Structure 1
Amino acid sequence: MELLQKLVVINLNYITVGLMVLFYSLEHLMTNQISVNKKTFHWANNMFFLIVFVLLNFLWSFVVVHCMEWLSSRKIGLFYLIEIPYWLKLILGVAMLDFVMYWFHRLGHLVPFLWRFHRVHHSDTNMDASTNFRGHPIETFLWFGASNILAAGIFGIDLLAFGLYFFIITPLLFLEHANLRFPTWLDKTVGLVFTTPNLHKIHHDQNQHYTDSNFADIFILWDRLFGTFTYKPIEQVKPGLEEFDSGEPQSFWYLLKSPFINIKRKI
């Protein structure tokens, strides 16, 4: 437990930048799954989102941690009302954070106003590890931050479980977006319970039937339980949104203002 406490207090920004360098190197050294056009332009735009993410992370972390400390100090939440071993509380805490995020993510697709912000992430037609940061700052800070606070309030999740969740999900999100080839047998084994990179890439397909599926970040089990799981051969996946296919719609400034522009979905 002491080792876990030391691991989860490592600055997330250091981990994020380190993983970005690692996956950037891997994507240049290993076989890509998706052909990337205008790679320099693509990376430059997504790096602007990374910079915004790192800067906002200081504020986001302060707000979320403060709220979770307040909830924990008053023992608010289900896990404070039942007697369970602490190790089980940690595992369930990670699962419930992912469970609430699943529903927030799903709402981000179903509610038109929220989709205007979330489509920034889905707009990337050249999907790779940098796509992980391609999210509108308003959505990242307000919407997904609210998910973690709500989960903590409902289930009684403490800061150690919260730190463990991010220690797990941060590298996983890089894997899920990385432009690398992953064997399909993973989808039929590990993919019965957990989200594999191929299963997440299906979520980024331009066809809305597939875009509106496979919402879970860690446990694909939620999609299987609630009827939002889909599958198609990874070779057939075409990432992005057709209305953002090329040119100005792929630029950082256009994506920042895009939630306030009426853009009709083509597929």
Structure 2
Amino acid sequence: MEALKYQDIETIILVAFALFFFVMERLAPKHATLDAKAHLKTDILAFVFLAISVNFSRFVVPFFYDSIGFKTLGLLEATLTWPFFLKLIGAHLISDFMLYWIHRFMHKGGFLWRTHQWHHSAEALYWFSGFRTSFMHAFIYAFPQVLVGFYIFKFTPLELGIGFGVGAVSNLFTHSNLALPKWMPLHWVFVTPDFHHPHHSQMGTQNKNFGNVFTFWDRLFGSYVDPKKIRPDFKYGLKEKPKNWRMMIGL
């Protein structure tokens, strides 16, 4: 049997956890009145568009690194012999640090904000809504992910699939309509729905809590806002929305 490609492994992980969050949102919803069906058609379209964008980006971006002759930094050569679990943690720390700053700069306005608007257009958050990502957004985000996975840690296809799969699961989780039990203080380390949802509000908190996987970047660099200090009835989405086709492209 032909060996699985990393995309296949990533897809298996994504589908399994999508089903998990679909069930969990019904058992412990953050907003019990949320009607996901009202947004489903748009989010299905967004997911198909994102899948095409991500695969295109991961195909094209390596040519950039190859063209500039990028080599694994000598200081990081030793990481190639690390156990996979340590490499996975290291890879997510490095890529998440880079994505934190990319995400933060996207909120400064101009072209970068236009690449990010589609993601903020969702007027309700649930497990599927986090996939609203423009073509340009996916392309920009591919640079640190490809750099870390393909060039710095030189993951095998299995390791790449797991690494990208973990990132996809994190996206499902942080955007989910899931109420976590109070005895589970994950937010001290990991981005949770409570931590991330205020970032999608129409209030000033849209420029807070930029972390994708880890919360400590926001605490370290002054962009953290405590979700407990925010009114829970805030509105999601954009006050003014350009046309969907333009937001999906990111221009």
Q: Are residues 1:257 and 2:246 paired?
A: yes
User: Which region of structure 1 is more displaced relative to structure 2, 232-241 or 41-50?
Assistant: 232-241
Contact 1:64 1:148 in 2 (8 A): no
Q: Are residues 1:62 and 2:59 paired?
A: yes
Amino acid paired to 1:92: G
Contact 2:175 2:197 in 1 (8 A): yes
Contact 1:107 1:114 in 2 (8 A): yes
1:71-82 matches, within 5 Å, as 75-77=71-73, 79-80=75-76
Measured after TM superposition, the shift of residue 35 of structure 1 is 5.6
- Identify if the C-alpha distance between structure 1 residues 97 and 239 changes in structure 2 by more than 3 Å, giving closer, same or farther: farther
Contact 2:127 2:176 in 1 (8 A): yes
1:11 partner SS: helix
Q: Are residues 1:191 and 2:187 paired?
A: yes
Amino acid paired to 1:61: R
- Identify if the C-alpha distance between structure 1 residues 259 and 102 changes in structure 2 by more than 3 Å, giving closer, same or farther: same
- Residues 83-134 of structure 1, C-alpha deviation per residue, up to 9 Å, x if partnerless? 7861344432221011111111111111322112212111211111111111
Amino acid paired to 1:176: T
Q: Tell me the TM-score normalized by structure 1.
A: 0.74
- Identify if the C-alpha distance between structure 1 residues 26 and 81 changes in structure 2 by more than 3 Å, giving closer, same or farther: closer
Q: Tell me the TM-score normalized by structure 2.
A: 0.78
CA distance in 2, matches of 1:111, 1:237: 26
- Identify if the C-alpha distance between structure 1 residues 255 and 185 changes in structure 2 by more than 3 Å, giving closer, same or farther: farther
- Residues 174-233 of structure 1, C-alpha deviation per residue, up to 9 Å, x if partnerless? 1111112123454xx33222222210112222212x111111111111111111111132
1:194 partner SS: coil
Amino acid paired to 2:24: L
Amino acid paired to 1:231: D
- Counterpart of 2:209 in structure 1 is 214
CA distance in 2, matches of 1:150, 1:7: 19
Measured after TM superposition, the shift of residue 32 of structure 1 is 2.5
Amino acid paired to 1:190: L
Contact 2:127 2:172 in 1 (8 A): yes
CA distance in 2, matches of 1:235, 1:214: 16
CA distance in 1, matches of 2:232, 2:133: 24
Please point out which of 124, 129, 132 is paired with 1:131.
129
CA distance in 1, matches of 2:78, 2:18: 40
CA distance in 1, matches of 2:80, 2:102: 27
- Residue segments in structure 2 that go unaligned for 5+ positions in a row: none
* Structure with greater contact order relative to length (CA < 8 Å, sep ≥ 6): 2
- Identify if the C-alpha distance between structure 1 residues 172 and 152 changes in structure 2 by more than 3 Å, giving closer, same or farther: closer
Please point out which of 206, 227, 233 is paired with 1:232.
227
Contact 2:95 2:145 in 1 (8 A): yes
Give % identity: 23
- Counterpart of 1:143 in structure 2 is 140
User: Which region of structure 1 is more displaced relative to structure 2, 128-137 or 158-167?
Assistant: 158-167
- Identify if the C-alpha distance between structure 1 residues 13 and 163 changes in structure 2 by more than 3 Å, giving closer, same or farther: closer
Amino acid paired to 2:114: R
Paired residue total = 243
Contact 1:49 1:134 in 2 (8 A): yes
- Residue segments in structure 1 that go unaligned for 5+ positions in a row: 1-5, 263-267
Contact 1:203 1:212 in 2 (8 A): yes
Contact 1:195 1:217 in 2 (8 A): yes
- Counterpart of 1:107 in structure 2 is 105
User: Which region of structure 1 is more displaced relative to structure 2, 131-140 or 11-20?
Assistant: 11-20
- Identify if the C-alpha distance between structure 1 residues 61 and 84 changes in structure 2 by more than 3 Å, giving closer, same or farther: closer
Measured after TM superposition, the shift of residue 14 of structure 1 is 3.5
Amino acid paired to 2:152: G
- Identify if the C-alpha distance between structure 1 residues 48 and 84 changes in structure 2 by more than 3 Å, giving closer, same or farther: closer
